[in-house]
Structure 1
Amino acid sequence: LNNIYFEAACGIIMFLLLGRYLEARSKKEAGAALRALLEVGAKQATILRDGQELKVPIKAVGIDDEFVSYPGEKIATDGVVTAGSAAINASLMTGESVPVDVGVGDSVIGGTINTNGRLVVRATAIGADTQLAHIAKLLEKAQTAKAEVQRLADKVSGIFVPLVIVIAVIVFIAWLLYGARIGFAFTAAVAVLIIACPCALGLATPMALLVGTGWGAQHGIVISGAPVLETAKDIDTVILDKTGTITTGQMAVVKVAPHNVGSAELLALAGAVESSAEHPIAAAIVSAAQQLADENDRIAQFVDRLRSKTTNFKVLPGMGLRAEVEGKELLAGSAQLLAGVPDFDAVTDATAVYLSWDNVYLGYIELADTVKSTSKQAIELFKELNMTPVLVSGDSKRVASQVAAEIGIDNVLGEALPEDKVAYIQQLQQAGRKVAMVGDGVNDAAALAQADLGLAMG
């Protein structure tokens, strides 16, 4: 028994079982990322049956069923609005943090959040046909797709394993012919199999990709396929969209331009009337007015007086709002809303809320998207990796240039339509550049597809 190595056999079995355990655990964790993604969807829906609202499981909703969505609820499934209006937070699907106003005839996506207003929606897609389900399929495909290096490892393993078995058989026969005992010949053959075991070659690459894509999904990164990981190492140019990518998508007051009134009074008046609205632009104005009121008791009293005397408040979807303040009509909203007010002039191409009170133009409040705190650091890291960052935005050249200067980007393309972004990427590719495009995943879909590497935010 001196030549029988029980401890070696136990050790080999232990390591093989440990490898199987780690593989099973990694697959379970990767599957958890997929399950967590599916948890984003709504679990129940409020459907309309014979004029009555009825709570049902999401699986009970069928095509063309009408369901109701209230503020704060998730949209049950993909559909088209048939009644009502609201602002929808679609950041899950588009990466755009600013809620989108929707009304009758507009499409909504299951899993997005209704921030205000009651909607009646007709279901157009359910179950596996929804956009959220398509994202889940994308993740599942990414975890099963094979990269080029993995395919190469599979090919090598396919040749190497039979070859090792043949060599082991030859060793066994050779030792028998040499006169060795059958036990010794068998031991030599098994030694060849164990030493040349290609398990690591066949398992290492798929395991690394599986764990990598699962980890990415848990941190909000859905990898569309294993080949993407190979493409990433060759990127030398990174094109970035602005809204929701470089910026937070959250509006903030950047300028108060009064007309026939003081700037503090204009902001206080806007804050008082907008406090009854739920739109993100209104929230930004209210926040700025509240900050001003906290610093000035006179303004605080002025705001409180205006709020108490605001009546007949009405939201005008897509335009702004109308209310009566101290018995006089106040308009706050887009240039279209104030088109008939004397002396009114839309003087800015930025996002702005214009105000008039008692048919007197009072000025405007300009708002802008705020740059993310990590954007500048990300641009610096791109440069350290010898990648050239480029800001390509549909916003005006002035706004795009201001944001680019703030975060350290030298190359800017403003007022770019989706087709302009695609053409610009093609131009760079023809010059031999390897291009990555970072966008919101919907407006930039064509550019993301054209780029060598597409990164969709959200």
Structure 2
Amino acid sequence: PVQFYSGMRFIRGAYRAFRNLAPNMDSLVALGTLAAYFYSSASLALGRYGDVYFEASAAVVAFVLLGRYIEARMRTRAADAVRKLLSLMPPKARVLRGASAVEKEAGDVEPGELVEVREGETVPVDGYVESGSGLIDASSFTGEPAPVEAARGRLVLAGMRLLSGRLIVRATRSGAHTAVAQMAKLVRIAQGARLPVQDLVDKVAGVFTWAVMALAAAAFATWLLLGYPPSTALIYAVSVLVVACPCALGLATPLAVAIGVGRASSKGILIKRPESLQRLLDAKVFAFDKTGTLTVGRPKVVAVVGGDEVLRLAASAELKSNHPLAGAVVEEAVRRGLALDEPESFDSFPGLGVVAQIGGSAVAVGNERLAKEMGADLGKYAEEAERLRKLGYTVSYVVKGEEVLGLIALGDSARPGAEELIRWLKAANRRVVILTGDAEAAAKAMAARLGADEVRAGLTPEEKAAVVEELRKAYGPVAYVGDGVNDAAALAAADVGIAVGSGADVAKEAGDVVLVGGGAEKLGELLRLAKAVLKNIKFNLAWAFLYNVALIPVAAGALAPLGVTLRPELAGLAMALSSVSVTANSLRLRSL
């Protein structure tokens, strides 16, 4: 029963492997145990009771299965990240129907329905706060422990916990369509992905298996030629086959990747393509978008040239824009109590600005290039705009028809940790470049403050992608960090695209990695994690290979004259310990 019931999985695996001329671990275990079993059966039939090794065959199967069981138990811990993400989603939601509330399955909530979230409860759907306020714990998405304030208009995601207050949330997505469900799915897919080094490992393991079978045959022949009985030669051959199983080689990479991806997700770093970890460490240039990536992305209006009417028109035109600069203009207009007009039409031009139809007139808000394309004469405003840019501010022209009505100056501050990150990258001999659609003076002021090597300003998204190609030719592999939607072209052009996203729709964000709910300051954490994962993989591979190579001569009987031998059952135990040790080493990544 041990050989042909418990060990049948190895026999079936060996059959498929040999049929495809690609022997693997199952092939070695099956060959070794079947050789011992059938030799023992023949000896028993011939009455040579001293030449039976059923216990060796059974022990090898038992030890290998025990090793796989321990390995499987330890590997399930690598999937903790996915289980933790899925556990964030509450099963029920309280939906408001008029003056009353009804409970329904969270996954059945329709877009547009109002969901009540009380203090201490977990948000069951993605949506925007319709009314109420409170403090929410978003650490499962951002990795930041500090609670954040939620008020009307704030995006909240399923899985966030309301620490205090009461919220009415207008649902946008529920169930499998929520951000947390998307993240869990992407993490699961990423955990099963392969790094390029795994292809090399598979080739080496394939050659290694053939070599081990040849060594086992050589060991058998050598002991026969030395005059020892077939039973002795067989034991040594079986020991070689069993101890050299390359299962630890196969575990070395995927397990470290699975644990590394899971650990990253708990820090608000979603690794969509794990192969990018290798490329990230090879990058010679780190190019950054400015607004929202290196800066807070919450600019404030610092000056309005032309009075409140200029601000009112600009805010009306920007009402439908999701750009941080537009949000700042609208926020300032609301703060001043200005009455805004709903635009009759709206067009956004990335890298330039917006054009809207208000009261029958075309109103444009954007940079100098957009103002000129509207046919406006910059006149006296050009000099004032230049003065404001030299102070490091971003300047938007407000144009009505073909006339410049005034200017709006906006300022932004660097994200906490951005300056330290750039200093760290430069110390590691990486070139740091800022690519932005902002005016040159504002971009240069921020670059000087942060210590960047180079800055390119006034770029459209397409021009950013072209600059990425240019930087690659000049310096080598490029990693680009920018907005997951507006910078999609540059992210795709880079060797590694790192998107800074809100986490609202991670599946649609461009890039190999998404920094959820944060800025470029999380890049340092990503780099440290990538370095740790690759270091762990290299150690695992070296350990697995050297362990096997060191034990093969012992298993073949090279130390037999000194009284040191390795019976098949002990070889099976040693092989299992090799896999368990690689698994345990990979699990150390969970403490990062």
TM-score (norm 1): 0.61
- Secondary structure, aligned partner of 1:185: helix
Shift of 1:334: 9.5
- The one-letter code matched in structure 1 to 2:275 is P
- The one-letter code matched in structure 2 to 1:407 is L
- Secondary structure, aligned partner of 1:437: strand
Find the counterpart in structure 1 of residue 488 from structure 2.
445
Distance 2:424 2:193 in 1: 29
Matching of residues 218-367 of structure 1 within 5 Å: 218-249=266-297, 320-321=333-334, 331=337, 350=393
Alpha-carbon spacing, 1:34–1:242, altered in 2? closer, same or farther (3 Å): farther
Shift of 1:389: 0.6
Shift of 1:80: 8.9
Find the counterpart in structure 2 of residue 66 from structure 1.
113
Shift of 1:234: 2.5
Distance 2:466 2:116 in 1: 40
Shift of 1:100: 12
Shift of 1:451: 1.1
- The one-letter code matched in structure 2 to 1:181 is P
Distance 1:393 1:116 in 2: 39
Find the counterpart in structure 1 of residue 443 from structure 2.
400
- The one-letter code matched in structure 2 to 1:452 is D
Shift of 1:238: 0.6
Q: Is the 8 A contact 1:88 1:112 kept in 2?
A: no
Q: Is the 8 A contact 1:252 1:368 kept in 2?
A: yes
Find the counterpart in structure 2 of residue 382 from structure 1.
425
Q: Is the 8 A contact 1:30 1:213 kept in 2?
A: no
Tell me the alpha carbon deviations over residues 129-170 of structure 1, each in whole angstroms, 9 at most, x when there is no partner: 344433322221221111121122123323432542354245
Distance 1:21 1:393 in 2: 52
Residue 198, structure 1, aligned to residue 204, structure 2? no
Alpha-carbon spacing, 1:365–1:422, altered in 2? closer, same or farther (3 Å): closer
- The one-letter code matched in structure 2 to 1:193 is L
Distance 2:252 2:64 in 1: 14
Q: Is the 8 A contact 1:44 1:57 kept in 2?
A: yes
Matching of residues 411-422 of structure 1 within 5 Å: 411-422=454-465
Q: Is the 8 A contact 1:98 1:249 kept in 2?
A: no
Distance 1:240 1:181 in 2: 71
Residue 156, structure 1, aligned to residue 204, structure 2? yes
Tell me the alpha carbon deviations over residues 172-223 of structure 1, each in whole angstroms, 9 at most, x when there is no partner: 3664576422431122113322553323322222233233323333333322
- Secondary structure, aligned partner of 1:226: coil
Alpha-carbon spacing, 1:195–1:222, altered in 2? closer, same or farther (3 Å): same
Tell me the alpha carbon deviations over residues 211-266 of structure 1, each in whole angstroms, 9 at most, x when there is no partner: 3323333333322233212212321111112234323446689x689999xxxxxx
Tell me the alpha carbon deviations over residues 263-292 of structure 1, each in whole angstroms, 9 at most, x when there is no partner: xxxxxxxxxxxxxxxxx99xx9xxxxxxxx
TM-score (norm 2): 0.49
Find the counterpart in structure 2 of residue 147 from structure 1.
195
Larger CA deviation: 47-56 vs 385-394: 47-56
- The one-letter code matched in structure 2 to 1:434 is P
- The one-letter code matched in structure 1 to 2:82 is L
Distance 1:256 1:432 in 2: 40
Q: Is the 8 A contact 2:284 2:475 kept in 1?
A: no
Distance 2:462 2:122 in 1: 33
- Picking from 6, 21, 28, the partner of 2:76 is 28
Alpha-carbon spacing, 1:45–1:420, altered in 2? closer, same or farther (3 Å): farther
- Secondary structure, aligned partner of 2:491: helix
Matching of residues 123-202 of structure 1 within 5 Å: 123=172, 125-165=173-213, 167-169=215-217, 171-172=219-220, 175-176=223-224, 179-194=227-242, 196-202=244-250
Distance 2:472 2:450 in 1: 25
Shift of 1:365: 11
Distance 1:395 1:215 in 2: 36
- Picking from 159, 162, 170, the partner of 1:121 is 170
Distance 1:42 1:369 in 2: 38
Alpha-carbon spacing, 1:321–1:215, altered in 2? closer, same or farther (3 Å): closer
Which has a greater percent of helix? 2
Alpha-carbon spacing, 1:67–1:257, altered in 2? closer, same or farther (3 Å): closer
Q: What's the Cα RMSD here?
A: 5.5
Distance 2:76 2:95 in 1: 35
Distance 2:198 2:484 in 1: 28
Distance 1:220 1:138 in 2: 13
Distance 1:24 1:53 in 2: 44
- Picking from 452, 455, 458, the partner of 2:498 is 455
Find the counterpart in structure 2 of residue 210 from structure 1.
258
Distance 2:442 2:340 in 1: 19
Shift of 1:409: 0.7
Distance 1:71 1:449 in 2: 42
Tell me the alpha carbon deviations over residues 6-33 of structure 1, each in whole angstroms, 9 at most, x when there is no partner: 9xx99999899678646643x3343122
Distance 1:369 1:85 in 2: 29
Tell me the alpha carbon deviations over residues 85-117 of structure 1, each in whole angstroms, 9 at most, x when there is no partner: 999999959x9x9999997xx998656899999
- The one-letter code matched in structure 2 to 1:161 is T
Alpha-carbon spacing, 1:69–1:449, altered in 2? closer, same or farther (3 Å): farther
Q: Is the 8 A contact 2:287 2:434 kept in 1?
A: yes
Alpha-carbon spacing, 1:317–1:411, altered in 2? closer, same or farther (3 Å): closer
Alpha-carbon spacing, 1:380–1:394, altered in 2? closer, same or farther (3 Å): same
Find the counterpart in structure 2 of residue 327 from structure 1.
none
Q: Is the 8 A contact 2:394 2:439 kept in 1?
A: no
Alpha-carbon spacing, 1:370–1:19, altered in 2? closer, same or farther (3 Å): farther
Shift of 1:407: 1.2
- The one-letter code matched in structure 1 to 2:244 is A
Tell me the number of residue pairs that the alignment of Structure 1 and Structure 2 aligns. 367
Distance 1:211 1:39 in 2: 18
Shift of 1:450: 2.0
Distance 1:149 1:216 in 2: 20
Larger CA deviation: 157-166 vs 107-116: 107-116
